[in-house]
Structure 1
Amino acid sequence: MRKLGLLLAVGLLCLSLAACGQSGESSSGDTADQAEQSQLPEMNETEEVQDEAPDAAEPTEPEPDSQTPLYEDNFSVDTEAVTAFAQKIQSVTAEQDLEGLADLIAYPVYVGFPEGGESVTSKEEFVALGAERIFTQELLQEIQDADLESLSPSMAGFSLSASGKPNIVFGVAEGTLAVLGINY
């Protein structure tokens, strides 16, 4: 903590000196920048953190979940992960578990009802649509009969369906798999 305070004080002092050393005319902003850089000690960002133990009163950042891999895009997801996620969708759909399906969604999500599509921006909004509206007999049958071994990536994601429509589209959202759309 003392090093951080000292570093801040040195930085403020350098800025003050650089501002005082400038004349009223500014011929070039580069000379002020060069003066600041030459007066500041070079310090690696990790040096500051490594020398100090975290203070118990200060909150620490949560560590990323090492169990959940982060994916760059739909084409970087391995077959096992795609199949496992599709099985989760099949499970919550078969149980008509609206909350469970809502937990698998990346919001906002497009829900393409036959009477017109809707963009749903939150879990609460999705749950408010109601299980009877989401879990139609056609959707339940298509998801149940879907061949999990034939799922292939596209730019839009993976389409989980036996014949094409209705379907649930899932893919990579912020590095993890999530439901991206439901179409009827």
Structure 2
Amino acid sequence: MIKRKMILALMLMCSVGVVGCGNRQDPVQPETETQAETGTEVRTEKEAGTEYVIEDASEQTTEFYLPKEETDKLEEQYREVLTQIKTAVADRNMGELAQYVAYPCYVGIPDVIAVRSEEEFEALDVDQVLTEELVDVIENTDIDSLELYDAGYVVSGESGKPNITIGTGEDGKVGITGFNY
């Protein structure tokens, strides 16, 4: 008797599931148009009385989705800061380098996760922060060959590590946002 009830209950659950799945509407068919002035594709989807407009991001000029003029200015700032960083690293001057760090900054050395001020950064051991490998990577970087990513510039050797990331910090300052070993 118990087996019969269990089988009946299972059949009832399956039939409810089938009925629920069978009540589907046709998929949303997007309406597509191309804007003549920008050349971007705009797709409008209508679903249950709501209209969504989705722009095709593949036509955007940068990964940041900022106007090209703003991206060019940001890229110029990054390159200027990187030039100053290369000088400070060559001199192994933590005080000077601290000026080009965006705080808080990730520093991947033992017992340190992030530094929040110039004073904290300057107190770090120069040999731990500026390892020979990292100094070589930074000194041998061709600034003009770097690509700008969402996070900024990643200055690294062929293996990817060690590296530094130059980006915009929480306070809007352009500087080193991470040291990775």
TM-score, length basis structure 1: 0.54
CA distance in 1, matches of 2:163, 2:105: 14
Contact 1:168 1:183 in 2 (8 A): yes
Structure 1 residue 93 and structure 2 residue 89: aligned? yes
Distance 1:175 1:110 in 2: 16
The answer for the alignment partner of 2:141 in structure 1 is 146
1:181 aligned partner, one-letter code: G
Instruction: State the alpha-carbon separation in 2 of the partners of residues 117 and 141 from structure 1.
Output: 23
Note if contact 1:145-1:161 (Cα within 8 Å) is conserved in structure 2.
no
Q: Is 1:178 the counterpart of 2:170 in the alignment?
A: no
Q: Which runs of 5+ in 2 are unaligned?
A: 1-65
Q: Are 1:161 and 2:156 counterparts?
A: yes
| Contact 2:78–2:175 (CA under 8 A) maintained in structure 1 | no
Aligned counterparts, 1:7-156, within 5 A: 76-78=71-73, 79-113=75-109, 115=110, 118-156=113-151
Query: Aligned equivalents of 2:126 and 2:87: distance in 1?
Result: 15
Classify 1:90/1:175 alpha carbon distance in 2 versus 1 (closer, same or farther; 3 Å). same
Give the structure with the higher percent strand: 2
Q: Residue 152 and residue 116 in structure 1: after superposition, are their counterparts in 2 closer, same or farther (change >3 A)?
A: farther
More helix by share: 1
Shift of 1:116: 6.4
State percent identity of aligned pairs. Answer: 34
Q: Larger RCO: Structure 1 or Structure 2 (Cα < 8 Å, ≥ 6 residues apart)?
A: 1
* 1:94 alignment partner, SS class: helix
CA-based RMSD of the aligned residues comes to 2.3
- Measure the CA separation in 1 of the matches of 2:161 and 2:111: 15
Deviations 1:63-109 (A, max 9, x none): xxxxxxxxx79x72444433222111111001101011111111111
Alpha carbons of 1:172 and 1:124: their partners in 2 closer, same or farther (altered >3 Å)?
Answer: same
Decide whether the 8 Å contact of 1:161 with 1:167 is kept in 2: yes
Q: TM-score, normalised by structure 2?
A: 0.54
CA distance in structure 2 between the aligned counterparts of 1:150 and 1:103, rounded to whole angstroms? 24
Q: Could you tell me how far 1:175 is from its partner in structure 2? A: 3.9
Give the letter aligned to residue 92 of structure 1.
A
Letter matched to residue 85 of structure 1 = V
Deviations 1:38-65 (A, max 9, x none): xxxxxxxxxxxxxxxxxxxxxxxxxxxx
Shift in CA distance, 80/108, structure 1 to aligned 2, threshold 3 Å:
closer
Gaps of 5+ in 1: 1-71
